[in-house]
Amino acid sequence: MKKSTLFLAALLCMMMQSVSTFAGDRLIPTEQLPAAAMAFIQENFPGEGVMFAKKDFDNGRRQFEVHLNNGVQLEFDKKGNWDKVDCQFNAVPAHLVPTVIANYVQTSYPDATIVKIDKERYGFKIELSNDLEMKFNKQGALFDIDD
């Protein structure tokens, strides 16, 4: 009896944890995305449809995650400004990459393309088609490489 009560209590705790972990994410219709996010998608990925969109409350701040039909994953802040662009195997639209970072990549890794860019507090994190991850400060100076 004691074991089954303990087991049920543990099971209940696990279920509550998993519910609270995903409670902040919910699917939303595309129309509920901020206008700026929709404009970004139309400008940078014309003709691509939205597979699904989610509203996420991460660390108390609202953001949006969008998955396009071509596999591109996007994240936006609550105003619709992009935070992350993950093009999987294709190049990120060139105008999204700061010039100094694009020049560094072109010079140092001419056979690679930037397939992911993520705005961070410190600057930018990018991933190249050769699987290198790099971190740049706000001025565009490289300060970390992870292979």
Q: What is the mean pLDDT of residues 97-122?
A: 97
Asked whether residue 18 carries a pLDDT value surpassing 50, the answer given is: no
Tokens matching residue 57: 């409350």
pLDDT given at position 92: 98
State residue 23's pLDDT score. Answer: 53
- For the entire predicted model, the pTM comes to 0.81
* pLDDT tens-digit series, residues 125-137: 999 999 999 999 9
Q: What is the pLDDT of residue 12?
A: 46
- For the chain, give the longest Cα–Cα distance: 69
The mean pLDDT value of the chain amounts to 88
**Model pLDDT, residue 59:** 67
Predicted local confidence at residue 30, as pLDDT = 94
- How many C-beta atoms lie closer than 10 Å to residue 13's C-beta? 10
Among 8, 66, 72, 16, which residue's Cα sits nearest to residue 45? Answer: 72
Mean pLDDT, to the nearest integer, of 101-107?
A: 97
**Pairing verdict, β 73-77 and 26-28:** unpaired
pLDDT for 46 beyond 90: yes
